[in-house]
Structure 1
Amino acid sequence: MNYLAHLFLSNGTPNSLIGNLLGDFVKGSIENVYSPGIIKGIYLHRKIDIFTDSHPIFRSSKRLIGLNRRRFSGIMIDVFYDHFLAKHWSNYSSISLGNFTNRVYQVLQDNKNILPERLKSILPDMIAHDWLASYKDTSAINRAINGLSYRIKRKNNLFGGVEELFLNYQQLQADFSMFFPELINYSLTVSS
């Protein structure tokens, strides 16, 4: 799952929101670096990633990606699933997507001093362009995938990868609709 899903699956407290987002920005040992609430959020992020990567529906979605991009299919499906979450947000939350993202941005701003440098550097752009809510538009997914193509150091062909979303839109949306309720239940189980 990508940023939006991880934030959604947090328990909503500032520490949990931060921790669930930091899972994409910190590696290795985190003990004695962050507060217990943030550490718990990072561990939830990691458990969600393991559950997602091993789930048959997610694996089936990955197989829809063309062979020339299959190596990065997990990254692509993570972003595509965030698109479906944003697009169908009201199916999963009673809080509007705009209110949710505004709260997330405020929490991140209020805690900027503890964020890793890479997150601090992208935060102004994330807020200014409302990355999280923009995922509902395929043009934002295109920008996200293209941006990832530049951030990955090794040679890749992610650029233009949004075409994989268009080619498989209905099936990917159906996969997400079956998978996400299971992920919600799993995250509630492991976070309690």
Structure 2
Amino acid sequence: MNYLAHAWLARHSDDAILGALLGDFVFGQSTLADWPEPVRVEIVRHRRIDRYTDDHPSVADARGLFDAAGLRRYAGIVLDVYFDHCLARGWGRWNDAPLGAFTARVYRILEARDAELPPRLAALAPRMAAHDWLGSYAQRDSVDRAVRGISTRLSRNGDKLVACLGVLRANEDAAQAAFEAFFPELLQAAGAMLEE
């Protein structure tokens, strides 16, 4: 899952939302000690959610859509972004509060905790808010924009990530079906992780 889904799965507290977003920016076990427990717990949960997602049969099948093009290695990134689009597009199905209210909350948290953010997230957060990255996922073109942006941050093979967009367009119904099969099960698994 990508930023929107991770933040939403952590909506039970502001510290949890921060931890969910930090999951892609804080690495290793030793760095966890730098964060208060509620944030630390959510960083670890983020990692577990990523593993659950990668291992889910529906997601694995969706990655297989990219095999013929030799792009399976990059498919997970594209699917994560696309799944955020599926969540945003069907927001009302999963949440009573408007998407804009939730994304505004996320941006407020990032702004309020700016001094604590790792440099990469600190640089990204103002752009994320200014361009409403999370809310923009409701529009399909945002998937392409986000993937192209990610491709520029890869140390190599960014062109292969961009090439995945054509495969995704050609198989969008199957990717949507994978989300529909996977996401309700993720909700149950992520809820169980909270209770452990």
1:1-192 alignment to 2 at 5 Å?
A: 1-29=1-29, 30-65=31-66, 66-156=68-158, 157-192=160-195
Cα deviation per residue 1:120-174 (whole Å; 9 max; x = unaligned)?
1011110011000101112211111111111110224112532222111111111
Secondary structure, counterpart of 1:137 in structure 2: coil
Name whichever of 106-115 and 25-34 sits farther off: 25-34
The CA RMSD over aligned residues, in Å, is 1.2
Q: What amino acid sits opposite 1:32 in the alignment?
A: A
Q: What amino acid sits opposite 2:18 in the alignment?
A: I
Q: What amino acid sits opposite 2:180 in the alignment?
A: S
TM-score normalised by the chain length of structure 2: 0.94
Q: What amino acid sits opposite 2:104 in the alignment?
A: N
User: In 1, are the aligned partners of 2:6 and 2:21 still within 8 Å (CA)?
Assistant: yes
Q: Which runs of 4+ in 1 moved over 3 A?
A: none
User: In 2, are the aligned partners of 1:146 and 1:161 still within 8 Å (CA)?
Assistant: no
TM-score normalised by the chain length of structure 1: 0.96
Post-superposition offset of 1:187:
0.4
Secondary structure, counterpart of 2:161 in structure 1: coil
Structure 2: any 5+ residue segments left out of the alignment? none
Cα deviation per residue 1:65-124 (whole Å; 9 max; x = unaligned)?
252322111111111111101111111111111100001100111111111110110111
* Partners of 2:163 and 2:101 in 1: CA distance: 31
TM-aligned CA distance change 1:31 to 1:122, over 3 Å: closer
Post-superposition offset of 1:12:
2.6
Identity across the alignment (%): 39
* Partners of 2:117 and 2:38 in 1: CA distance: 14
* Partners of 1:189 and 1:111 in 2: CA distance: 28
The structure where helix makes up a greater share of residues is 2
User: In 1, are the aligned partners of 2:49 and 2:190 still within 8 Å (CA)?
Assistant: yes
Post-superposition offset of 1:11:
4.1
Paired residues in the alignment total 192
User: In 1, are the aligned partners of 2:74 and 2:164 still within 8 Å (CA)?
Assistant: no
